[in-house]
């Protein structure tokens, strides 16, 4: 994942839950009235297909130790990526070749029975061809690359040792996301070991630059898939991400399974200024750096963004679930404010109550991240540039943000006689603003401010449907998820021996995953590493690790999803 996931849950407490017991909840789950909040899909039991039970992964000691070795071996290959690796034949990609050799040795059945293709040299595409060509295939994604290490001596165990302490697997990529990639391949290997022959085609697509730009891997994989299968051709797409699996409550635990069903958009606004130079001893009142500072100062103070929580936002549904199933663990006013339907008031109340991670699910963020200018203390700066990163909230568009920036920057530029140019062709800037900004009869041509975006602006992702009544795919996906996570006690809670109640509800992500390239392929895109919060740690930083139990639970989900969709006739 490109950024740390916000944790939506309020702090877990040990208070007993005053929620309906499991029986009542199950009753409520099946009672779909029109105005019901947080409707849940019926549980979907694993099919009677003669294959062993998913619980085998968690309970079989031999399997566990083999899985620890598989994941450790994958962590040991340092598939780090930097932003400067833009050619698949860059020698820095050599570890990826080793990584793929490791996969071939470790998963012989996958490599002999699936069709294995390389896309743009290192993108990996596995096709498990099903016999039923009318059934839409399933697409599972992961990425082979990991973020680089800053200082290895900061780590408790060397980052590429793949050290397993009996509980935790330590190392770069252990939880982002070699656990996903190895989990998927292990599950398919396990299916083939039992002579499974798919009816519904399953595709695994593993990019290799998700932590950079994603163009080499997912960018090329997605176009290859679209060319082969067409638009809207996959039953669902499941990638890493999401808010994991979060628990509220003690013994009467309610477990929230939180796939990401949307993502914010993004745009990097680049501002490049050119002004005449000269000797520092005879400066103008404001150098180019001073003007750029005024621009950034104003962007951070004018027309500020606000949180907005409309009922169409997936977090709204997630919060309704918390209010319904964990009322003692949420703000006492939550249910009332959700029902009142004032998107601005609700957004602000939640952002204030839950902090920045939640605020930025609900509002656009703005961060001035880069600035350059000046070469010497006796020469005035001639070229000054700055880049501001925006993560676009669901109710806004990148164009709106550029429009706002131009509104703020325009008068400043004008007061300094700067000609503003931009290359946003889609932007509707008809009328006076555009006229005055581009009016060049007052401005000297050597004083310019050019606005552009670093790469193609990204709209907020389309929201994948999560109503079990109208989306059969979601109903089945959520039903399998409930079955898997209700089948055993939380392995992280040493005291709890009861199987939990599971609520499945979508949410969104503030960061972006490789799925940004996959929108045309399916209406049902789920970004979800099915890992319990508390069972993974330190993604993108020192001491990244994952509990082996959590990795195994994720495999249970992949295994049962493949089986439950295999013969499903919607």
Ligand X SMILES: *[C@@H]1O[C@H](CO)[C@@H](O)[C@H](O)[C@H]1NC(C)=O
Q: Tell me which residues touch ligand X (CB under 6 A).
A: 88, 120, 215-216, 219-220, 223, 416-417
Q: In angstroms, rounded to a whole number, what is the distance separating the alpha carbons of residues 304 and 432?
A: 23
Six token digits for residue 202 = 């399953």
State the minimum distance, in angstroms, from the CB of residue 498 to ligand X.
48
Q: Residue 162 corresponds to which tokens in the numbers above?
A: 């793949």
Work out the widest C-alpha separation in the chain, in whole angstroms: 86
Which pairing describes strands 365-373 and 265-274: parallel, antiparallel, or unpaired? unpaired
Give, as one character, the DSSP assignment of residue 384: E
In the bound state with ligand X, the residue whose beta carbon lies nearer, of 89 and 332, is 89
Contact present, 469 and 278 (Cβ < 8 Å): no
Q: Which is nearer to ligand X, 88 or 242 (CB)?
A: 88
Q: Strand 265-274 relative to strand 448-453: parallel, antiparallel, unpaired?
A: antiparallel
Q: By C-beta, is 302 or 417 nearer to ligand X?
A: 417
Residue 141: CB minimum distance to ligand X, A: 15
Q: How far apart are CA 414 and CA 401, in angstroms?
A: 20
How would you class 50 by CB atoms within 10 Å of its CB: exposed for 0-12, middle for 13-18, buried for 19 or more?
A: exposed
The least CB distance from residue 223 to ligand X, in Å, is 5
Alpha-carbon distance of 407 to 430, in angstroms, equals 13
CB-facing half-sphere around the CA of 252: CA atoms within 13 A: 16
CB of 239 to ligand X, least distance (A): 16
The pair of structure tokens assigned to 460 is 């907020």
- Report helix, strand or coil for 361: helix
Token pair listed for 229:
């299968």
Q: Of 528, 562, 490, which Cα lies nearest the Cα of 58?
A: 490
Residues with a known catalytic role: 145, 210
Beta strand ranges found along 183-306 (DSSP E): 202-207, 236-239, 245-248, 254-257, 260-263, 265-274
We find the least distance from the C-beta atom of residue 512 to ligand X, in angstroms, to be 14
What does residue 567 show for φ and ψ, rounded to 5 degrees? -110, 15
CB of 137 to ligand X, least distance (A): 21
The b-or-e profile of 182-209 (16+ CB within 10 A means b, else e) is: bbbbbbbbbbbeeebebebbbbbbbbbb
Closest distance to ligand X from the beta carbon of 120 (Å): 5
How many CB atoms are located within 10 Å of the residue 61 CB?
7
Q: Which of 232, 151, 193 is nearest to 543 (CA)?
A: 151
DSSP-assigned letter for residue 462: P
Task: For residue 214, give both structure tokens.
Answer: 């994603």
Tell the smallest beta-carbon distance from residue 6 to ligand X (Å): 28
The strand pairing partners of 388, in sequence order, are 269, 368
3-state secondary structure of 555: helix
**Cis geometry, peptide bond prior to residue 249 (ω within 30 degrees of 0):** no
Tell me which residue of 170, 165, 166 sits closest to 155, measured CA to CA.
170
Residue nearest to ligand X (CB): 219
Tell me if 144 sits within 8 A of 154, measured CB to CB: no
Kindly tell me which of 348 and 514 has the beta carbon lying closer to ligand X: 514
Q: Please, what is the minimum distance in Å from the beta carbon of residue 438 to ligand X?
A: 17
Q: Are the CB atoms for 42 and 477 separated by under 8 Å? A: no
> For residue 324, which of 338, 311, 342 has the smallest C-alpha distance?
338
CB of 315 to ligand X, least distance (A): 30
When the beta carbons of 338 and 409 are compared against ligand X, the nearer one is 409
């Amino acid at each position: 994942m490109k950024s740390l996931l916000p944790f939506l849950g309020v702090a877990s407490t040990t208070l007993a839950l005053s929620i309906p017991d499991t029986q009542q909840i199950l009753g409520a789950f099946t009672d779909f009235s029109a105005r019901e909040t947080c409707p849940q899909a019926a549980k979907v039991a694993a099919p009677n297909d003669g294959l062993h039970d998913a619980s085998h992964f968690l309970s079989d000691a031999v399997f566990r130790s083999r899985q620890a070795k598989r994941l450790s071996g994958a962590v040991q290959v340092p598939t780090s990526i930097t932003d400067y690796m833009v050619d698949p034949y860059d020698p820095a990609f050599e570890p990826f070749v080793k990584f793929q050799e490791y996969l071939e040795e470790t998963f012989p059945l996958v490599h002999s029975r699936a069709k294995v293709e390389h896309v743009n040299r290192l993108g990996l595409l596995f096709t498990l061809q099903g016999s039923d060509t009318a059934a839409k295939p399933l697409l599972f994604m992961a990425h082979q690359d990991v973020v680089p290490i800053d200082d290895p001596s900061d780590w408790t165990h060397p980052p590429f040792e793949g050290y397993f302490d009996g509980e935790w697997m330590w190392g770069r990529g252990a939880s982002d996301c070699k656990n996903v990639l190895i989990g998927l391949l292990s599950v398919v290997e396990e299916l083939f070991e039992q002579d499974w022959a798919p009816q519904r085609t399953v595709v695994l697509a593993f990019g290799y630059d998700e932590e950079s730009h994603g163009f080499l891997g997912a960018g090329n994989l997605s176009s290859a898939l679209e060319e082969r299968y067409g638009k809207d051709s996959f039953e669902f797409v499941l990638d890493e991400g999401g808010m994991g699996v979060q628990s509220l409550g003690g013994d009467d635990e309610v477990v929230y399974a939180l796939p990401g069903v949307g993502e914010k958009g993004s745009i990097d606004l680049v501002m490049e200024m050119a002004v005449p130079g000269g000797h520092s001893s005879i400066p103008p009142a404001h150098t180019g750096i001073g003007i750029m500072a005024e621009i950034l100062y104003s962007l951070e103070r004018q027309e500020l963004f606000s949180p907005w929580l409309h009922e169409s936002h997936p977090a709204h549904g997630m919060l309704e679930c918390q209010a319904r199933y964990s009322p003692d663990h949420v703000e006492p006013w939550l249910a009332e404010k959700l029902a009142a339907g004032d998107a601005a008031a609700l957004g602000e109340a939640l952002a204030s109550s839950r902090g920045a991670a939640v605020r930025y699910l609900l509002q656009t963020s703005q961060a001035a991240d880069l600035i350059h200018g000046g070469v010497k203390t006796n020469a005035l700066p001639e070229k000054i540039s700055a880049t501001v990163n925006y993560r676009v909230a669901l109710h806004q568009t990148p164009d709106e943000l550029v429009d706002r920036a131009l509104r703020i920057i325009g008068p400043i530029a004008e007061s300094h006689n700067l000609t503003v140019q931009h290359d946003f062709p889609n932007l509707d800037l008809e009328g006076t603003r555009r006229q005055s900004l581009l009016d060049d009869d007052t401005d000297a041509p050597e004083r310019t401010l050019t606005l552009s975006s670093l790469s193609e602006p990204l709209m907020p992702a389309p929201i994948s449907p999560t109503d079990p009544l109208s989306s059969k795919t979601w109903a089945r996906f959520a039903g399998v998820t409930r079955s898997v996570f209700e089948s055993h006690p939380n392995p992280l809670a040493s005291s709890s021996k009861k199987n939990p109640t599971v609520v499945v509800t979508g949410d969104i992500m503030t960061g972006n995953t490789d799925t940004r390239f996959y929108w045309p392929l399916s209406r049902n895109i789920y970004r979800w590493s099915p890992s319990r919060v508390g069972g993974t740690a330190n993604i993108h930083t020192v001491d990244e690790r994952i509990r082996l139990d959590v990795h195994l639970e994720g495999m249970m989900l992949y295994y049962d999803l493949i089986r439950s969709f295999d013969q499903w006739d919607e």
